[in-house]
């Protein structure tokens, strides 16, 4: 999307500069042609492609509503004023420190977001969409980190005076590192 928008911006800016500085630029094409090609023929495929891409991406993020066979790791994310807790219901004995979410890289993670008090919102900008954490209701969102690394997360629904500090960190590990990370913490 970034490179596509850069290309379109460069094209429009180029046309603008040409119209401004080159005498008689564009006069050979009648105005209705400019409208048909520039106003319809160019934007339609771009908008259709973006819409299809957005639908596809939305399917991935919200797949939790339906069942499939992919090997998905479920993580519970619980928000409360003003911190996040994470747990792994399918990994017995695993413990996570508050504010740190360990995940395996390259694997789809299903976040089950809940809240203990008011509405919060789970958001890791570099890993995709955000989802509200609502008291008494489990919302599901899928994320995936392609590479190991650290990714910042925040609460993105205003929830009180401590909202701005309601941050957490996602640490994506390779498969071995992930097992070590969630079991090493049991001894702490
Ligand atoms: Cu908040």
Domain ranges in the chain are 2-61, 69-187
> Which residues are CB-neighbours of 76 under 8 A, at least 6 positions away?
86, 87, 88, 89, 112, 114
pLDDT at 86: 93
pLDDT at 4: 85
Residue tagged 């001894």 (tokens): 187
Is it the case that residue 1 has pLDDT exceeding 90? no
CA of 95 to the centre of ligand 1 (A): 24
CA of 69 to the centre of ligand 1 (A): 34
**Span 28-36, average pLDDT:** 88
CA of 175 to the centre of ligand 1 (A): 31
pLDDT band at 187 (very low <50, low <70, confident <90, very high): very low
Most confident of 75-84, 86-95, 96-105: 75-84
pLDDT tens column, 116-154 = 999 999 999 998 778 999 999 999 998 989 999 999 999
- 122: burial class by Cβ within 10 Å (0-12, 13-18, 19+)? buried
CA of 20 to the centre of ligand 1 (A): 48
Kindly report the average pLDDT of the chain as a whole number.
87
Q: Identify the CATH homologous superfamily for domain 69-187.
A: Cupredoxins -  blue copper proteins (2.60.40.420)
CA of 66 to the centre of ligand 1 (A): 28
CA of 128 to the centre of ligand 1 (A): 18
Is it the case that residue 164 has pLDDT exceeding 50? yes
175 φ/ψ sector (left φ>0, alpha ψ -120 to 50, else beta)? alpha
CA of 97 to the centre of ligand 1 (A): 19
Full-model pTM: 0.72
pLDDT tens column, 130-139 = 899 999 999 9
At 113, give phi and psi (nearest 5°).
-95, 130
CA of 122 to the centre of ligand 1 (A): 9
* DSSP reduced 3-state for 110: strand
């Amino acid at each position: 999307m970034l490179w596509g928008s850069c290309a379109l911006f460069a094209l429009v800016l180029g046309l603008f500069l040409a119209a401004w500085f080159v005498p008689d630029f564009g006069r050979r094409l009648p105005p209705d042609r400019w409208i048909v090609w520039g106003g319809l023929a160019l934007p339609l495929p771009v908008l259709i492609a973006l819409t299809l891409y957005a639908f596809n991406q939305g399917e991935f993020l919200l797949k939790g509503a339906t069942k499939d066979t992919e090997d998905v790791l479920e993580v519970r994310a619980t928000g409360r004023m003003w911190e996040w807790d994470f747990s792994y219901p399918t990994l017995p004995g695993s413990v996570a420190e508050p504010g740190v979410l360990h995940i395996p890289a390259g694997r789809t993670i299903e976040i089950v977001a809940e809240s203990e008090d008011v509405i919060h919102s789970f958001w890791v900008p570099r890993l995709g969409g955000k989802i509200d954490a609502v008291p008494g209701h489990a919302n599901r969102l899928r994320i995936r980190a392609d590479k190991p690394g650290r990714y910042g997360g925040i609460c993105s629904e205003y929830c009180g005076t401590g909202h701005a500090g309601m941050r957490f960190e996602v640490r994506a590990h390779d498969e071995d590192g992930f097992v070590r990370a969630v079991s090493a913490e049991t001894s702490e």
